[in-house]
Amino acid sequence: MGISNLENKKSVKIAREIWANPELSLKEYKAEAIYAKALAEAGFEVEEGVGGIPTAVSGSYGSGSPVIGVLAEYDALSGVGHGCGHNLLGAGSFEAACKIKDWLESSGKPGTVIFYGCPGEEGGASKAYFARDGIWKELDAAITWHPDTRNKVVTGTCQSCIQVLYKFHGKPAHASGTPEMGRSALDAVELMNTGVQYLREHMPGDARIHYAITDAGGMSPNVVQPEAAVLYMTRSILGKDCQALQDRVDKIAEGAALMTETTYDRIFVDACANLVPNHTLEKMMQEALESTDKPVYSEAEYAQALEIAKTLDPDAEKGIDEKVYGLGEIVDPPFGSSDVGDVSWLTPTVQVHTACFAVGSPGHSEQNTAAAGSCFGEKGMLYAADVLTNAAKKLFSDPELLAAAKKEHDESVASKGGFVSLIPDDAVPYVIE
């Protein structure tokens, strides 16, 4: 898989173009247009604005059952661009969807493959909104992947999470001449943050709370700040525990407003459910991972990956981890969140990770951004596309496998009390400015 071959591939061109033009969550207008055009050219039936979200797109091919969804993302991060590698994620899923389509066409197998371009994974959670609206119920199974430092099938679960923006409103006044006339929105934000710090002692061990001050009120210290805002994210494994923690954060916001005689707007941003693992599909994906030909790297690619790794560990001896890990050999701590979790409550879902990032690179880092724009990262992407394609072929060809996965899914979801969306019925995806 040489560099010249990479440059001629449509999916690689897409990955590079999106990497060079990073767009934040729910603002991925260029990326959405790229995929809508590419899907149409590849022969898919295209739907834009899926679920009422302007930057969501889907492409469907085939007819009848089974219906297999291939999940894609393409949003970037503030400050580091594609530090999560979503330029690769989306393009790899596109590559897989095209290969699955071609296989369905040539084999004459019945079934439907649907590419889902899901915006806002980093803040917006389109998959969770789709889940609330029942979109994933049309699938018999969903497959997806993510760039990583290692080649492994995902097992275990993750955290549920809720994001809420609090915009406080006060009254401006001269901070020295008439301070008694002012009501500080910034004071309210700071008091809220202090209250949440005290709450941390009384949270469950698997819970997390994060915050970012999105509006500090201005640049003039001699003015009582009339506006300020803070964005909060609460996390816990179970959705009910996450909601209970969020309710306490809401009470702290109310208390901060009372103490400062300010008012505030509570704006729901998004929420995600924890992941429901499907061991039947995990075993199937592990077989696909192990049986798919791995990338062949050039000396230049090894050198580039090692150079990136050495920015984190000067003693690093390799930059690419080429090992294929066994199922359950690497289980990530359940402290992240993903809207893939919501999908998994409504249809059997499985994820695979492939080595696209340099050894030792942390998530959302500049090192990941560099790797996501590299040839060795692109080869990891194409490896993932082939793994997903081989997994999909098994799902289309083996009705007993799919039936077992669906049986396990239904029993698992029922044992957990069924799916309850953390997104209110009247909420719409909120674009954070």
Cβ-based neighbours of 73, under 8 Å, separated by 6 or more:
86, 89, 90, 117, 118, 119, 121
Any domain includes 104: yes
CATH number, position 260: 3.30.70.360
Is residue 168 a contact partner of residue 228, using CB atoms and an 8 Å limit?
yes
Supply the CATH number for residue 290's domain: 3.40.630.10
Q: How many residues does the chain have?
A: 433
User: With contact defined as beta carbons under 8 Å apart, do 419 and 413 qualify?
Assistant: yes
> Which H or E run includes 76?
none
Same domain for 268 and 179 = yes
427 occurs within a structural domain: no
Confidence (pLDDT) at 123 = 87
* Domain boundary residue, one of 227, 247, 272: 272
382 lies in the same domain as 313: yes
The predicted pLDDT at position 336 comes to 84
Q: Is residue 8 domain-shared with residue 152, that is, in the same domain? A: yes
Q: Tell whether 293 and 400 lie within a shared domain.
A: yes
Same domain, yes or no, for 214 and 251?
A: yes
Task: Write out the two tokens for 293.
Answer: 């030909």
Q: Using the 3D structure, point to which of 272, 298, 329 is the last residue of a domain.
A: 272
Interval 273-312: pLDDT, tens:
999 999 999 999 999 999 999 999 999 999 999 999 999 9
Helix pair angle (29-41, 10-20), 10° resolution: 170
Q: Count CB neighbours of 17 within 10 A.
A: 14
What is Dmax (Cα atoms) for the chain? 81
In a domain, 126, yes or no: yes
CA–CA distance, 378 with 147 (Å, rounded to integer): 10
CA 56 vs CA 47, 139, 293, 421: distances in Å: 9, 17, 32, 20
Q: Residue 40 sits in which domain range? A: 3-158+275-415
114/62 Cα distance (integer angstroms): 9
- Clarify whether residues 215 and 280 are in a common domain: no
Q: Tell whether 331 is covered by a domain.
A: yes
- Report which residue type is found at 9: K
**Does 184 share its domain with 69?**
no
Q: The tokens of 253 are what?
A: 């916001």
Question: Is there a single domain that holds both residue 297 and residue 256?
Answer: no
Residue 208 and residue 137 share a domain = no
Residues 71 and 202 in one domain: no
Last residue of a domain, one of 238, 272, 306: 272
For residue 391, give both structure tokens. 């997994």
Whether the CB-CB separation of 160 and 235 falls below 8 Å is answered with yes
> Which parts of the chain sit beneath pLDDT 50?
1-4
Residue 310: inside a domain, yes or no?
A: yes
What whole-number distance in Å separates Cα of residue 366 and Cα of residue 15? 17
User: Residues 115, 324: contact at Cβ < 8 Å?
Assistant: no
Rg (CA), the chain: 23
Q: Which long-range contacts (CB under 8 A, 24 or more apart) does 294-301 make?
A: 294/151, 294/322, 294/324, 294/383, 295/1, 295/376, 295/379, 295/380, 295/382, 295/383, 296/1, 296/379, 297/376, 297/379, 298/2, 298/3, 298/375, 300/375, 301/374, 301/375, 301/376, 301/379
H-run or E-run covering 206: none
Neighbours of 311 (CB within 10 A): 15
Kindly state whether residues 151 and 183 are assigned to the same domain.
Answer: no
Does the residue 344 lie in any domain?
A: yes
Residues 241 and 324 in one domain: no
Q: How many domains does the chain have?
A: 2
Residue 86 located in a structural domain: yes
Q: Of 36, 128, 173, whose CA–CA distance to 342 is shortest?
A: 128
Q: Is the full-model pTM beyond 0.75? A: yes
Residue 417 burial (10 A CB sphere; 0-12, 13-18, 19+): exposed
Is residue 168 situated within a structural domain?
yes
